[in-house]
Every structure is written in structure tokens, then in C-alpha cells.
Structure 1
Amino acid sequence: MLLPYRCKNPPETFPLATYLLIAINIAVYAVTSDGFLQVKESVVDTYGLSYQNMSARNWAASLFLHGDPMHLLGNCWFLHIFGASVEGRLKTPKFLVLYFFAGLTGDILHMGIFGPSFPDIPTIGASGAIMGVMGAAIYMFPHAEVLVFYGYGLYWGTTAWALLWVGIMYVAFDVVGVICCGPYSGVANLAHLGGVGGGLLFALIARVKRDTETQSQARSVLADSHDLGILNKYELRSLADTAPDDPLVALHWFRAEERAGFGFSAQCLDGFRRNLRKMIETLPVESVGQALVSYEAAGYQMPIRDGLQIALKLEGSAAPNLAATLYDLLLKRQDLDKESASTALLRRGIVSETKLGLYEIAVAHYEQVIRVDSMSPLAEQARHRIASLKRIGRA
């Protein structure tokens, strides 16, 4: 016996459809089975797919019917193992197209070869669709690490295989089933093979990105640690190739190249700039702020608006010194317009006054705000703050 129990290939986005399909399959079995022991014969006769009844209704319904708990459990388990990462790469709409397309190609192959000889024998189950998901996974993630449980007699244990070899193993089982048993095995092996073929065909037509061995190794490490910080810059670059719009990957890639000490690659900088807005909106403010300080210190120029926004967020964090540093870097810029300069000066003064207790420095910044534009509302705020400090003897 060989059973995969974990695919170390984290999905790029939450696999909503995968788990909805699992839930729907379980719910359908609950209402169509006899005490959850086996599917009702009347349901199979009415909704099963056969050569003499290949209506669209029966085809769609048969994909959600299962004969017994083991049939249901096996399909749901394989959908969980392979579906999450496939949906994460394809995204939900394309994943659903793949699922039903593979179910269709599996049924076409099975009915086309065995149907004429057994026109009244219905088939049920999502196996063809799920094998299609595995076929797409073989194409997209051939090097992904899959943990496999094996058992034969007294010999039991676990091992790790590349997803490609796991897929080949199950395809081989179905080929042997067709050769040895034909239509009498009790398993629709041809539907499985047709599903795998449909999944591979879909991935080829859709031109889905394939992971290299390096990318799969990085994903395997990530699956164990959930910490991108332990990956080196080469592994993070590989991840960025598959997830170019992931702000967390872009941030960690930038920090990894900074740690390596040989400057930043053009691809890394491009990913950092492209994802900066998402970083500011979704990631811890201290991490993004430190990266922006490093970015500016390395001679690159952060967008002024983004720099002001992240510095303002840092004022309310546990790192007000980082906010002050960002304001100082912005104030050195030659391209700073009058309003942005006044804003940075005022905020720098407020940080010095309220967070750092540096009152003389605060007053100096407030006075600069007044010199930049004495008639602006910001200058009025600066005068008010200076007056307040004088009243309490701090200025």
C-alpha cells in the first residue's frame, strides 16, 4: 500500500474551491447514502452516468456521488493533497474549469471504450476530476516533495517522493487495472486515465507556470517552517518567480539580498517597488519601515508619499526612532516639494517631542516648518506646539 499524506507545497492563495468541493461531496453523500454506509441504489439508478443515459444532468450529478465511505474519503483526501497547491497557482475560476474539464475527459474515455459493451451500468464519483487535478499538479509541480506512507506485510513506514513519481505510480496502477481487469475491476480506471490526460492537457493549453527543482525545494522548506526568513536569496528569487505579486516574498527577498552584502539585483528591486503599496497595507510596519530605510540608504529613492505614510504609521508603533530616521532621510531629498517638506518637518518634530523627549530638536524642526511656508496651516500648528512647550518650560 502506498498513500500520500502530505504535499510540502504551500498554496499561493487560499484554496477556497478545493475545500468547498470537499464539503459539497460530503454533504451530497450524507443525503444520498443509507445511514452513511453506502449510496442508495435508487440514487445511482436515477443520477448515475451510463452509456444509455449521458445527459448533462446525470454527468454533473455523477461527479458528486460516491459509493461508500472509503470511496468518498479517498477522493476527498486526494483532492486535499493535490488540489490546494493547484488551485493556489491557477486561482479559483481556472481551477473549477480544470476540475470539470478533467471529469468530462475521464467520462468520455470510459464511456467511449467500455460504454457500448455495458450501456446500462452507471458510474459515479469524482475520481476522474480529481485525477485531472493530480495531472495538472504533475505538470506544474513535478519536483514538489510528497510524503508517502507505505505498508506491506510487516514493513511499514514513511518516505518522501517527488510529486512526478507519485503521479506516475497511480497512473501505473490504473494502466495495470485496465490491462488485467478491463471493465470488471469495480474501479473506473479509464476515467482516471482520461482525467489525468485532461488535467495535463489543460495545464499545457493554459500555459501554466512550472516550478523548477529549486523552487520546489524552497516551497518544501517554507512548508516546514512557515518562515521566509530562513530562505536564502536564491530560494526567495525562485519563489518570487512563481509569486511575483506576493508582498511578503518581495520583502524577504529584499532583506535576504541586503544580508548577502553584494547589492540588490534589478529583479529584486523591481519586485520590491511593485509590491511596496501592498507591503504598507498588509505587512508589519516595523519590517517595512526598516526595509525602506535600507532602500534609501543604499542610494535608491522611495516614493515620497509612501515614505510619509509608513513613517506616520511607525510613530504609533514600538519603533518611533525608525519613524524619525525615515523623516530624516526624506528631508535630505532634493525632490521634496514644499508641502511634503513641511509635513516631514512637522511630524519629525512631533516624534521628537512626544515619543523621544528631545524637545530642543522638536523646536528646531517646528521653526523650520515656519521658515518653509509661514502662512500654511502646518506652520500654524508648529507655532502652537512651540508655544505649548514654552508654557511648560521645555523650549
Structure 2
Amino acid sequence: MPPRSSGYQLRLGPEMTSMVRILLIANAAIFVLQMIVRLAFKSPWIESLFALHPQDVLHGYLWQLVTYSFLHGDIMHLLMNLLTLWMFGSELENQFGSRAFLKFYLFCASMGGLVTLIAAYLGFPQGIVLGASGATFGLLCAYAIIWPNREVLFMLVFPLKTKFFVLILMLMIVFSQGGQIAHMAHLGGILGAFFLMKVYRSWQSQSKQPTWSLSRYLQKRRFQRYQEEMNKRENAKKHVDELLEKISQHGMNSLSRAEKKFLNEASQKYFNE
């Protein structure tokens, strides 16, 4: 895998990472399920439930804001998104960590769905939206922010810096036309990536924090009890020294009953080893 630097590079493809592999398999498996259901039942009922239908979302089908990104219309649609996920997602996962990368990917996908929903609500018909393009455009944006001077093959032919590559894609979103392209989902993915990378920086550090586990909790409790015991010993030693000083100056009878009791208990508990 090429080293991470800000210089020029011509990538042939990174080593596939664990979360990227899971997402690739999930997208491919769901696409196969789509095809099987279409052939078996002669009805795209998976798309009707899980693709993004803006009117359905407004009536409570909120899961479609994410699930649409795991569905695809045809094999080329799937392969292009999977290729982008592999080529750009693997190095981003190495940069972020697997859990943070998954949060990033799903957030960009959901932002693609949300921007699509907003556009439909404002009177711009969106039709039925499906595909991982919102998430993969977010990956492209993040990649361009982290490694702006790396080179990719635009149209698989022309070497182009990633910062210009993403800019061209954004311009294509603004000026291109066509009912079969989910421009708003692409735009939402880019906006989501920009927000996480430039505004909400704590999402990555939070994701790297270890998850709760029983063994870690018990270890922490043992350490707390040990720390409390050490504090008690220190306080007891300090108080015992004060009482011994009092005895040396005024004799044993100068101690109160409570002080004698404390001195006796402390000597047996802390100083009898």
C-alpha cells in the first residue's frame, strides 16, 4: 500500500480493509437478494420498502434514509459504487479506524437521504432513490480533504489531483440533468463529509474510545478500591503521627476515648503487618 503523504501518487488500488470488506459483501449480497426477489415474486417489494421514497419517509418510513444506500438498480451501478468504496474507503478506514469509518460512511449516506428529502419537500421531484453513491461521494470528499494532491485516473485515463477530481464531480452535480441520477444524494454525501471533516472533528476521537467490557469495569473497580485503601492508610498514618506527638508531649492520659480507640484500631489494621 502506498505511503500516506501529501505528494503526487498514482494508485492502482489499496489493500482491502475489514470494514470496507464487510460493506462490499453487504452491498453485493443485498443486490443478489434484490434480483432473486424480482425473479421469484415478479415484484420489486424490497425496493418499495427500503429504497428512498420521499413521500413514504414523510409518513414515518425513516429507515429509508439509510437503507436506500444498500440497494442498487443494476450491476453497473453496483460495481461503480463498490469500486469507489474499495479504492477510496480502504485508506480512509486506515486513517480513521474501522468504527469511525463506519460512522462516517453511514452519516454520509443518511445525509444524502436527508438532502434528497428536503429537495422533494421544497418541490423538486426526486423519484425513487437507491444506491451507495451518497456515501461514496462522501468518501471522495474526505479523501480530497486529507490527500488533496494525490492523483487518481479521471475517466480511468487522465491523471488528476483528487481536489480537482472532486470539484469536477460537484460541478457535474450542479449542471448535469437527468431523472436517473440522484444528484441530491450525491450533494448530501459531500455535505455530510465536509461537515464531519471540517466542523465536527470529535466524531473520530470518540469512535476510537474503547467499548465497555466487564473485565475492564472490574479492573477499574479494583484499582479504585486499592486507591481508596491507600488514601485511608495515608490519612490514618498522618492522624497516628499526630496522636503520637500528643502522647510524647502530654502523656497517654491526654488522649480522649475516641482517640485511644482510633489509635488501637489503626495499629491493628494498618501497622500490624
SS at match of 2:70: coil
**How far apart in 2 are the matches of 1:50 and 1:104?**
13
State the 4+ residue runs in structure 1 displaced beyond 4 angstroms.
34-37
Structure 1 pair 117/63, CA: closer, same or farther in 2 (3 Å)? same
The C-alpha deviation readout for 1:301-358, integer Å capped at 9, x for no partner, is xxxxxxxxxxxxxxxxxxxxxxxxxxxxxxxxxxxxxxxxxxxxxxxxxxxxxxxxxx
**How far apart in 2 are the matches of 1:186 and 1:46?**
19
2:201 is equivalent to residue 206 of structure 1 = yes
Which one of the candidate residues 76, 92, 104 is aligned to 2:82? 76
Which one of the candidate residues 98, 103, 119 is aligned to 1:92? 98
Report what 1:62 is aligned to.
68
Report what 1:43 is aligned to.
46
More contact order relative to length (CA 8 Å, sep ≥ 6) = 2
Matches within 5 A, 1:129-168: 129-149=135-155, 158-168=157-167
Contact 2:66 2:110 in 1 (8 A): no
Q: How many residues align?
A: 190
Which one of the candidate residues 131, 134, 138 is aligned to 1:125? 131
User: Aligned partner of 1:199: which letter?
Assistant: A
2:27 is equivalent to residue 33 of structure 1 = no
Report what 1:359 is aligned to.
none
Q: What is the Cα-based RMSD across aligned positions, in Å?
A: 3.0
Contact 2:17 2:93 in 1 (8 A): yes
Report what 1:16 is aligned to.
18
Report what 1:172 is aligned to.
171
Contact 1:36 1:68 in 2 (8 A): no
User: Aligned partner of 1:99: which letter?
Assistant: Y
Shift of 1:57: 2.7
Shift of 1:165: 1.2
**How far apart in 2 are the matches of 1:91 and 1:22?**
17
**How far apart in 1 are the matches of 2:159 and 2:65?**
36
Contact 1:90 1:208 in 2 (8 A): no
SS at match of 2:92: helix
Shift of 1:133: 1.0
SS at match of 1:56: coil
User: Aligned partner of 1:51: which letter?
Assistant: P
Shift of 1:40: 5.2
User: Aligned partner of 2:163: which letter?
Assistant: L
The C-alpha deviation readout for 1:82-126, integer Å capped at 9, x for no partner, is 111111111111111111111111111111012454779331111
SS at match of 1:139: helix
**How far apart in 1 are the matches of 2:13 and 2:35?**
34
In the alignment, structure 1 segments of 5+ residues that lack a partner are 1-5, 151-157, 210-395
Shift of 1:27: 0.5
The C-alpha deviation readout for 1:357-389, integer Å capped at 9, x for no partner, is xxxxxxxxxxxxxxxxxxxxxxxxxxxxxxxxx
Contact 1:130 1:195 in 2 (8 A): yes
Report what 1:327 is aligned to.
none
In the alignment, structure 2 segments of 5+ residues that lack a partner are 1-8, 205-273
Report what 1:191 is aligned to.
185
**How far apart in 1 are the matches of 2:36 and 2:188?**
30
Structure 1 pair 34/200, CA: closer, same or farther in 2 (3 Å)? same
User: Aligned partner of 2:109: which letter?
Assistant: G
**How far apart in 1 are the matches of 2:147 and 2:43?**
38
The C-alpha deviation readout for 1:123-172, integer Å capped at 9, x for no partner, is 1111101111111111111111213445xxxxxxx332111111112111
Matches within 5 A, 1:209-358: none
**How far apart in 2 are the matches of 1:142 and 1:86?**
13
User: Aligned partner of 1:192: which letter?
Assistant: H
Structure 1 pair 135/7, CA: closer, same or farther in 2 (3 Å)? farther
Shift of 1:189: 0.5
Structure 1 pair 176/45, CA: closer, same or farther in 2 (3 Å)? same
TM-score (normalised: structure 1): 0.44
Structure 1 pair 190/35, CA: closer, same or farther in 2 (3 Å)? same
Shift of 1:7: 5.8
**How far apart in 1 are the matches of 2:126 and 2:113?**
15
Structure 1 pair 199/40, CA: closer, same or farther in 2 (3 Å)? farther
